[in-house]
Amino acid sequence: MSNVRLVPMGDTCLSVMLDDRIDPAINARCVWIAARLEQEPRAGIRDVVPTFNAVAVHFDPATISRRDLDADLRRLAADAPPSTGAAGDLIQIPVEYGGRVGPDLTAVAEFAGCSERDVVRLHTAAEYRVYMLGFLPGFAYMGSVDERIAMPRLDVPRMRVAVGSVGIAGRQTGVYPCDTPGGWRIIGRTEVSLFDPARTMPFLLKAGDRVTFVPA
């Protein structure tokens, strides 16, 4: 079993921190811990946020003592199976690559020293893991992008990236859930909405899901 540290952030958040690296097995344990906390809610816990290698538990210290919470989280972390087995949902996202909606596809092809078609082939060949959501409602950090097309983000972010834009930032890929400034290399766009609060299921993705991109 790997190291588990409990680290307070301020007085209303306690983070369960696993090994300091990005790894599907470590992330799966984080997702497992977060899922357990959602299935068996504790009074005083306000929010549970699994990330790459940690689970942040936002709590109200006036309702739950930090000592009880600390012990509870340590138990859960110890219970988390080394390989959780449970694979998340598999979601397919159709993407229109290149042209006006993928202004950085050419640059990524140059970076990789291959054709634009090869970039699309490499981006659609992999099954990506949703490691975490953050930045904006519904925005998923997914990995890992093939090293050949893992172009670093722009030095100067764009003032506006359109909703649905599909981007690459190093070995991560993601889809912008709304119009926003952003620095990822935009290679295409999808019509699929990642976040719509009016839907019964407002969010398309959750941590632990698997995603493939297909040419639209």
Type and span of the H or E element at 166:
strand 165-169
Query: Cβ–Cβ contacts within 10 Å for residue 213, how many?
Result: 25
Range in contact with another protein (rule: CB under 8 A) among 60-68, 71-79, 119-127, 142-150: 60-68
Q: Binding another protein by CB under 8 A: which of 33, 98, 122, 138?
A: 138
Q: Binding another protein by CB under 8 A: which of 2, 103, 111, 135?
A: 135
Q: Does residue 111 bind another protein (CB under 8 A)?
A: no
Q: Does residue 216 bind another protein (CB under 8 A)?
A: no
Range in contact with another protein (rule: CB under 8 A) among 73-81, 97-105, 145-153, 197-205: 197-205
Cα→Cα distances 8→13, 75, 94, 118, 204, Å = 6, 17, 41, 45, 31
Taking Cα atoms as reference points, which of 94, 107, 14, 95 lies closest to residue 54? 14
Q: 96 CB contacts (<8 Å, ≥6 apart)?
A: 102, 188, 189, 190, 215, 216
Q: Does residue 173 bind another protein (CB under 8 A)?
A: no
Q: In this structure, what token pair is assigned to residue 213?
A: 């991109």
Residue found under tokens 């299921």: 201
Q: In this structure, what token pair is assigned to residue 186?
A: 């935009």
Q: Does residue 206 bind another protein (CB under 8 A)?
A: yes
Q: What angle do CA 17, 39, 206 make, to 5 degrees?
A: 65
Total binding residues toward another protein, as defined by CB under 8 A = 44
CB of 216 to another protein, least distance (A): 24
Choose between 2 and 106: whose C-beta lies nearer to another protein: 2
Q: Does residue 94 bind another protein (CB under 8 A)?
A: no
Q: Does residue 184 bind another protein (CB under 8 A)?
A: no
Taking a C-beta distance cutoff of 8 angstroms, is the pair 164, 189 a contact?
yes
Q: Binding another protein by CB under 8 A: which of 52, 97, 128, 213?
A: 52
Q: Does residue 171 bind another protein (CB under 8 A)?
A: no
Residues of this chain that interact with another protein (CB under 8 A) are 8-13, 15, 20-22, 34, 46-54, 56, 58, 61-63, 66, 132-139, 141, 177-178, 180, 195, 197, 202-203, 206-207
